[in-house]
Amino acid sequence: MLQTALPRVAPASPFRSLPFEVEHKSSRAAAIVQILLLVPVLAMVILPIVLVLALAPHDAWEAMTHKPLAATVLGAGLIAWLIVLLVPAKRLILGFGQRRRVRIASERVTVDDKGLFGSRHWSAPIAEFSGIAHHVRATLSGVRHELVLVHPLRERSVLLLAANAIGQSTIDEATRLLRVPQVAAHPLQRIDQRGFNSSVVAALAEPQTA
């Protein structure tokens, strides 16, 4: 999967003071490339069906009538292929141009999501979060390190920082600043970056002084 460029190491001391702000932007270029790769594959599945129904509908009906089992198996296979291809296409379109802004201040985490199809805002006290997890995931572009503020509800876990490497000192500063423990990384806690989901997020930490 294509990724936007990440810093070689985590920014120096991004967790020095509150409020802490971070913005995640989906890569439009990556989404466009992936959609362009999906289009010909979808065409290879859909075009033959359209041509058969348009040019030989009677023959297609006769084949389904005389060999219903074979027609059913063929139809089920085509539907399965369409689902396999359309689901990632839908996720790419929904995540195209998505932007998330996270702000942590006054013992609360505030998240604003904006995308092509609307926006969403939510807020939760830091006390609801169980801690900070350090995830390391392998991608086609290399290794990606992530610091995730983990919430019991997976969809409310928040990506704090992404880089090609994150040192333990940075993790310690984050736990001290937010006053939460470091917790063990778990695959289910990883943020699904859909635009976020199938697209890659470029994280930019912008700490500010009160």
Q: How do residues 7-25 score in pLDDT, each as one tens digit?
A: 444 445 578 888 888 888 7
Domain 20-27+98-205 in CATH 2.40.50? The answer is: no
Q: Which residues contact 190 (CB under 8 A, 6 or more apart)?
A: 135, 137, 146, 148
Residues 151/190, Cβ–Cβ less than 8 Å? no
pLDDT exceeds cutoff 80 at 194? no
pLDDT exceeds cutoff 70 at 151? yes
Residue spans of the domains in the chain: they are 20-27+98-205, 33-94
Q: Give me the amino acid identity at 54.
A: A
Query: What are 37-51's pLDDT values in tens digits?
Result: 777 877 887 887 787
The SS3 call for residue 191 is coil
> Residue 115: its pLDDT value, please?
73
> Residue 144: its pLDDT value, please?
83
Judged on CB neighbours under 10 Å (0-12, 13-18, 19+), 176 is: exposed
pTM beyond 0.95: the answer is: no
> Residue 150: its pLDDT value, please?
93
Eight-state DSSP code of residue 73: H
